[in-house]
Amino acid sequence: MHLIIDEFHTAFYAVAFLVSFTILMQSIIQRRTDRAHNLAFILMVGIIMANSVTETVSEFMKPYITKSDTCMFIDEVCHIMYFMFHVLIAPVFFFYELCLTDAIKKRRDFQVVIFSIPIVFMELLVLSNPVTEVLFYHKNGEFQRGPAEYVVYVISAVYMCLAIACISKYWNAMTIKKRLSILCFMGVVVLGLAIQFVYPDIRCELFAEALGALGIMLLMENEDDRIMAETAIYNRHGLEIDLETNIKLGLSCNILSLRITDVGTSLRSIGLTNINNLTNDIAEYLKTKVQRFYIYNIDPSQFIILLGDKDTEDHQRKFRKLFKNYEPMISIDELTEDLLARFKGNWNMGKTKTSLNPVIIKANIPNDFKTVEEVFFFIDSPIPKQLDKQVLEGDDLGYLLRRTEVENAIHRGLAEEGFEVYYQPVYELSTKKLYGAEALLRLHDKELGPIFPDEFIPVIEQMGLIDDVDNMVLGKVCEFIESGIPERAGMRTLNVNLSMIQCMQKGFVDRINQIVDSYKVDKHMITFEITESVGADDYKKLGEIITELKSSGYQFAMDDYGTGYSNIQSIFSLDFDVVKIDKSILWAAEKGDLGMTILTNSINMIRQMKKKIVVEGVETESQIHLLEDLGVDYQQGFYFSKPIPKEDFIREILGVTD
C-alpha cells in the first residue's frame, strides 16, 4: 500500500511539472518575458517546476532512506530545496499582483525593505534547519514537521492577505481578464491546499498551483487581443487598457504621438504590403529606444509611446537593478531628439528609399488629459494643415480646442441647417455654354463663422456622421434638380462628391436610389465624383458599386486626377465617364515644358480611353486657349465663378439681375 501511495503522489508531481514546463515554454515562445509581471509569473512557474522535481526525487528516496545514508542525505537536500523555493510562492504572487495592477509604481524604498524582511527570515529558517531542525526533521526514516513550518505558513498567509488587499484596492483599475486570472489562481490553489490539509495522502498542492498558473497564462499572460503579432508592440485596444489603468491609479505619464504626415501618399505609391513593411521597420526602430510594451501602433500613420514622468522615472530606477526592462531609461525630450534625427534619413519603401515627414506631439496625463476619452480625442484629431513645426506641445495643443469647437459647429449645423450646398459651374469648351455644376458643401456657424471643407470634412468622417452629411447633400441636389431650374438653364448634370467611407458601407446603393427616387428626378442628371486616391484594394468592390449605380442611369467622374500615384490604375479599373484633371497639372503646364508634357500626355491618354475630360482651376483666358488647343471637353474654375450659394447660382445661370 505504501508503494501505491508513493506512485500516486509521484503522478501528481509529474503532472505539475509537465503543466509548468508547458507554461514556461509557451511564455518563451510567445515572447512574454520582458515585463515585470511576466518575470514574476515565470518565477512562480519555475518554483512549481523545481518543487515538482524535488518532491519527485524525495518520493523515490523514501523506500531507501532507512537503508542508505546517501538516500537520506538526498532526501534531506530535496526537502531543503523544496522549502527554499516554496516559501517564495506567496511573496512572488504578491509581487506579481503589484506588477499586474501597476501598483508597484506607487511603492517606495522603505516599503520594499519591509516586504522583503519576512522573505529573508523564512530563507534563514530553511538554511539553518540542518542544524536547528525547527522546520522539519526525520524520525525513524519518516518526515516530521517542525514548529517553524507553521510560522512559514502564517507568513505566507500574510503575503496572500496583502495580495488580496492589493487586489481589493485596485479592483476597479483592473480589466475583467485580470480579475478572472487572479480569482482563478487563488481559487484553485486554495482548493488544492484544503484538499491536501483534509486528506494528507492526496498531495495535490503543487498540481493545484500548476493549474492556477495555467489559468493565469490563458487569461492574463495571453495578450493576443491587444498585441500586434509581427512587431510584438501593442494596438489601439492595448493602449486603451493601459491608459485606463494609469488614470485609475492616478499615475502621471507622458504621451508622445509620432505622426507620419505623408503616409497616405506613400500608400498610393508603394502599396499596402510595403506600407506594412515600413510600419514594421519603424516599430523595430522604436524598440531600440524604449521597451516594446510602451509602444502602440494606432494606424499606419501614427505611433503612440507612453513614458513615465520624471518623478515616476526616478522612483522606478531602483527596480531596474532587478528588472532592467521595467521602465524606459530615455526621457521624452531625448526620445524626441532621436526620432527627429532618425527621420531625417531614408526608409525602405519597396525597392526604393525615401524620407518621411514626422510630426511629434507631446502631452501629459493628468496635466493635459484626465480621461481615456480625452486622450483618444487627441489621438484621433487631425493635425492642422497650416503647420510650421515638427514638435507640438503645451500651447501648440490649442488645435484640440479648435477641433472641439468644430465638432460642436457640426452638431449645430446638422440641427439648425447651418450646412449649405454651393455650386460651381462647369462649361463646355467648344460651345462656351453651361454644361453642369459641382455641388460643394459649406458650413456657416453662428459662433465660428465660415468653416472650410478641408477642416470640417475629416472631422465629420471621424465623428461617423459622413453618411448623414452626404445624404443631406444628395437630397439638396435632387431638390434643386426637381425644381426644373437646372434643365431650364441648359445643364446636363450636377456633380455630387462621394466619400469612400460611405461607398463601402453595406446597403449604400439601395440608400442612394431611395433618396433619388423620393424626388422622382432623372438619374442621368447626377454625376458622382470619387477621388482618384482610392486604394487599390478597394477597386473590386468599388467597381461593382459603380457598375450597379451606372445601370440605374447615374454617371461617374474621377476627381483630382494627378494628385496621387494610382490614377492610371483607377482609370483602367473603374468605369468612369469623366476624368477631372486637377488644377495643379494645368498650372504646372504654364510654368515649364515638363508640366506641359504631363498635361498633354494625360489628355491624350484619357481621350484614347474615350472618356470625357474636365480641367479644374481655370483662371485666365490664356489657360482657356491652351485647353482649346489640347481638345479638352469641359472647364471649371474661378475664371467663370467661385463656388456660390444656390440662390446666387440660379441668378447667374438664368441671367437674372437685381
Report the alpha-carbon distance of residue 546 to residue 354 in Å, rounded: 35
Report the alpha-carbon distance of residue 546 to residue 554 in Å, rounded: 9
564 pLDDT band (50/70/90 cuts)? low
Percent of the chain with pLDDT over 90: 30
Residue 141 has pLDDT above 80, yes or no: no
Is 474:497 a contact under the CB 8 Å cutoff?
Answer: no
Report the alpha-carbon distance of residue 145 to residue 136 in Å, rounded: 4
27 pLDDT band (50/70/90 cuts)? confident
Q: What is the pLDDT of residue 323?
A: 45
Residue 432: DSSP 8-state:
-
Report the alpha-carbon distance of residue 440 to residue 646 in Å, rounded: 10
Residue 383 has pLDDT above 80, yes or no: no
Residue 73 has pLDDT above 70, yes or no: yes
616 pLDDT band (50/70/90 cuts)? very high
Among 52-61, 228-237, 403-412, 475-484, name the one with the lowest average pLDDT: 228-237
| Short-list 263, 243, 261, CA closest to 253 | 243
Arithmetic mean of pLDDT, 302-312: 76
Q: What is the pLDDT of residue 182?
A: 76
Q: What is the pLDDT of residue 311?
A: 47
| Helix/strand/coil for 84 | helix
Find residue 391's DSSP bridge partners.
360
325 pLDDT band (50/70/90 cuts)? very low
Q: What is the pLDDT of residue 386?
A: 65
Report the alpha-carbon distance of residue 346 to residue 278 in Å, rounded: 11
Residue 649 has pLDDT above 50, yes or no: yes
**Three cell numbers, residue 379:** 489621438
| Short-list 306, 329, 331, CA closest to 319 | 329
Arithmetic mean of pLDDT, 461-467: 84
| Helix/strand/coil for 212 | helix
Report the alpha-carbon distance of residue 510 to residue 366 in Å, rounded: 47
The DSSP result for 555-583, as a single string, is EEEEEEETSSS-HHHHHHHS--SEEEE-H
2 pLDDT band (50/70/90 cuts)? very low
Is 297:327 a contact under the CB 8 Å cutoff?
Answer: no
Arithmetic mean of pLDDT, 515-543: 80
5 pLDDT band (50/70/90 cuts)? very low
Report the alpha-carbon distance of residue 32 to residue 358 in Å, rounded: 31
Residue 355 has pLDDT above 50, yes or no: yes
Residue 566 has pLDDT above 50, yes or no: no
Q: pLDDT of 258-293, one tens digit each?
A: 988 765 555 445 555 667 788 888 899 999 888 888
Residue 137 has pLDDT above 50, yes or no: yes
Positive or negative: CA dihedral 415, 416, 419, 423:
positive
Among 214-228, 238-252, 609-623, name the one with the lowest average pLDDT: 214-228
**Three cell numbers, residue 497:** 462628391
Q: pLDDT of 492-511, one tens digit each?
A: 999 999 877 778 778 889 99
Positive or negative: CA dihedral 237, 242, 243, 249:
positive
Q: pLDDT of 156-181, one tens digit each?
A: 888 888 888 877 777 766 677 777 77
Q: pLDDT of 123-136, one tens digit each?
A: 999 999 988 988 88
Residue 256 has pLDDT above 50, yes or no: yes
As a whole number of Å, the end-to-end CA separation of the chain is 114
Percent of the chain with pLDDT over 70: 88
Q: What is the pLDDT of residue 109?
A: 64
| Helix/strand/coil for 220 | helix
Residue 248 has pLDDT above 90, yes or no: no
Arithmetic mean of pLDDT, 65-70: 82
Is 640:428 a contact under the CB 8 Å cutoff?
Answer: no
468 pLDDT band (50/70/90 cuts)? confident
Arithmetic mean of pLDDT, 557-567: 71
Instruction: Give the alpha-carbon dihedral of 558, 568, 462, 419, to 10 degrees.
Output: -20
Find residue 139's DSSP bridge partners.
142
Reported residue count of the chain is 658
The DSSP result for 517-568, as a single string, is HHHT--GGGEEEEEETT--GGGHHHHHHHHHHHHHTT-EEEEEEETSSS-HH
250 Cβ contact list (under 8 Å, min separation 6): 366
CA atoms within 13 A on the CB side of 355: 9
Q: What is the pLDDT of residue 327?
A: 46
Report the alpha-carbon distance of residue 354 to residue 345 in Å, rounded: 8
Q: What is the pLDDT of residue 4?
A: 42
Residue 480 has pLDDT above 50, yes or no: yes
208 pLDDT band (50/70/90 cuts)? confident
Residue with cell 480621461: 371
Average pLDDT, the chain: 83
Arithmetic mean of pLDDT, 15-40: 86
Q: What is the pLDDT of residue 318?
A: 47
